[in-house]
Amino acid sequence: MFVIGERINGMFRSVARAIRERDAAAIADLARRQVAAGAQALDLNTGPTGDDPAEVMTWLVQTVQEAVDVPLSMDSPKPAVVAAGLRACRGRAIINSTTGARERLDALLPLAQEFGASLIALTIDERGIPRNAAARAEIALGIVAAAVEAGLPTDRLYLDPIVLPVSAAQDQCREALEAIGAFRSLCQPPPHILIGLSNVSQGAPNRPLINRTYLVMAMALGVDAAIADPLDRDLMDALRTASILLNQEIYAEGYLQPQPAA
């Protein structure tokens, strides 16, 4: 499982403050703690900001790569903001995200090629979020075809079925899980499949329990990447246990021994 740390997101109040005050130490600390806790990459999202989002993204990339050496995911619906992040990034980059809409693919596939970046693709198109697994798979097929045509290797493509909050769209939690199974059979070798895990628990009580339960189900169906909170120790324990039970990691006695504090 490839874990992309979700915490550097202006959606969090403390991060919004750090961005506003250009508090590099606070952002660097969040980067280091997530990587120490097991994040293999970090998602960077400016959130709603009063400043120029491209300038904020550039600052986030510069600040984070001073602190850690992992791939950085440029999370913005605006191609210009993603591009600013890619230009600032010295190491490996992930574009988060394109959709199946032709206009977005035409803007972001060339960026992925120019910067050698991986590309996350939400299975949504001009008509919005599909209501069932089959419609998600249909959009996914169009995305895979466009990626192949553009010469993007499928190991740099991450399909995202779009997870919605159980509190608002309960039936969609199951549809997204079924879509994961469908995505796996789209091509050989199968593309990567990624979820934005914490979406599932937004607006609900006991979010950590909902997050880790959904993660384990999604892993069983074939998800191999997640944007998630690596500072949630119980989540990371569930992830490691599921990896072992799915025979993706070698079991050794003591695999859940206390880890160094994050």
Residues at the interface with ligand THG (CB under 6 A): 6, 9, 11-13, 45, 75, 96-97, 120, 122, 160, 163, 196, 198-199, 202, 227
CB proximity list for 98: less than 8 A, separation 6 or greater: 104, 105, 107, 108, 109, 119, 120, 121, 122, 143
Q: Minimum distance from CB of 96 to ligand THG (Å)? A: 5
- Dist. CA 79–CA 13, nearest whole Å: 25
Write down the least CB distance from residue 177 to ligand THG, Å.
14
In the bound state with ligand THG, the residue whose beta carbon lies nearer, of 27 and 227, is 227
Shortest approach of ligand THG to residue 151 CB, angstroms? 22
* Cα-to-chain-centroid distance, residue 250: 25
Which residue lies nearer to ligand THG by CB, 217 or 244? 217
Backbone phi, psi, residue 70, to 5°: -135, 160
Query: Nearest-CB residue to ligand THG?
Result: 196
| Contact between 216 and 210 (Cβ < 8 Å) | no
Calculate the CA dihedral of residues 104, 153, 197, 257 and round it to 10 degrees.
-160
Which is nearer to ligand THG, 85 or 196 (by Cβ)? 196
Q: Within a 10 A sphere around the Cβ of 14, how many other Cβ atoms?
A: 11
Q: How many residues can be counted in the chain?
A: 262
Residue 104 C-beta: closest distance to ligand THG, Å: 13
Measured from the CB atom, is 21 or 253 closer to ligand THG? 21
Nearest CB to ligand THG, comparing residues 121 and 242: 121
CB of 163 to ligand THG, least distance (A): 6
